Structure 1
């Protein structure tokens, strides 16, 4: 009966160890609250600083997190690069219009070209070109007679009556040698034919012109005048 009573009554009372722990806690609490006022104020200030520092740190962490969240995402290397800004189109270079070698003649180069008669003798040279209003060359004038331009006159010849040539006139064949040579030399040695002239580069003017009038006929022809011009 006594043992049963001890079993029932024992839990209602703390053990010696538990009582000692309670006593020590009460002593610690009493020592905390029984501290002097200056020391308690210092501890309160330390606690306030810790709270302030903790609040500031939390704010900085929150700002960093927001900045990282709102930072723009860098473009990936696989994305298509943006097209470069269109630059103003440069003016295309104009092609060179070279008229040489296309059968074109220059009027300034045609003046001074030699004119030959039917006997392949020179009768004069071109002194002027006469055009109509449409630009077609109607005639050329040939300077005839005179000496160094003194006493010469210009004779008009229709352009289509002049035969133009790009090749120079062939030199006249030399006169045959007189007969009666010695037996050792025979009747004479034939001269070699002249070498063919090398082709000229496009000069945009003919080498010479040829007409059917002789020099004497040109001297009898009326001279061209430009009265009123």
Structure 2
């Protein structure tokens, strides 16, 4: 019992000494090279989180849902080059993955445009409304605070039909 107490005391002392040593101020240098703290920004209100881009719906110019973003692929410099879009399928079954150039996607913060007077509107949307979306482009001045605060766009626009995407070669991750 005494040896367990001594061992626990020695372990705690070692941890405390390590923490105290880690709190030593850094040595003064004469170099004025930028540090990581000065290179980072504290506000990123005009940025989107990559983790939130997965699942963003993709529409064509006719406002038809053609799929959703499954993944983003980047080069070794960190620039996003390819968007992997899932086309077709139901609940992930039978989905066809295609790779499209990322710069061919247009991102829009406003909901998809439609006009309806029936009661078959999407949940949460009143009847007889018109909203804007794919046809409006990517005008950042029209961004509302609610869409800017969610850290991802409402949807993307890619100029192709669902059938054209399904006929593209299937994207496969190499092993």
**Short-chain TM bin:** 0.5 to 0.7
Partner of 2:152: 205
User: May I ask how many residue pairs the two structures share in their alignment?
Assistant: 121
Partner of 2:115: 173
The alpha-carbon deviation at position 193 of structure 1 amounts to 4.4
**Cα offsets for 1:106-148 (capped at 9, x unmatched):** 1101111110012101111100000001110001010001111
Q: Which structure has the highest strand share of the two? A: 2
Normalised by the length of structure 1, the TM-score is: 0.46
Q: How does 1:136-215 map to 2 (within 5 A)?
A: 136-170=79-113, 172-174=114-116, 193-194=129-130, 199-200=145-146, 201-215=148-162
- RMSD between aligned alpha carbons? 2.9
Once residues 174 and 210 of structure 1 are traced to their aligned partners in structure 2, the CA distance between those partners, rounded to angstroms, is 21
Where structure 1 has 5 or more consecutive residues not aligned to the other structure, the ranges are 1-89, 177-190
Q: Which structure has the highest helix share of the two? A: 1
Once residues 154 and 101 of structure 2 are traced to their aligned partners in structure 1, the CA distance between those partners, rounded to angstroms, is 18
Normalised by the length of structure 2, the TM-score is: 0.60
Change (3 A) 1:217 1:195: closer
Where structure 2 has 5 or more consecutive residues not aligned to the other structure, the ranges are 1-24, 27-36, 119-126, 133-142
| Partner secondary structure for residue 160 of structure 1 | helix
The alpha-carbon deviation at position 194 of structure 1 amounts to 3.7
Change (3 A) 1:99 1:203: farther
Alpha carbons 2:112, 2:131 under 8 Å: kept: no
Once residues 61 and 73 of structure 2 are traced to their aligned partners in structure 1, the CA distance between those partners, rounded to angstroms, is 24
| Bigger-Rg structure (1/2) | 1
Once residues 193 and 151 of structure 1 are traced to their aligned partners in structure 2, the CA distance between those partners, rounded to angstroms, is 34
- Considering Cα pairs closer than 8 Å and 6+ residues apart, tell me whether 1 or 2 has the greater RCO: 2
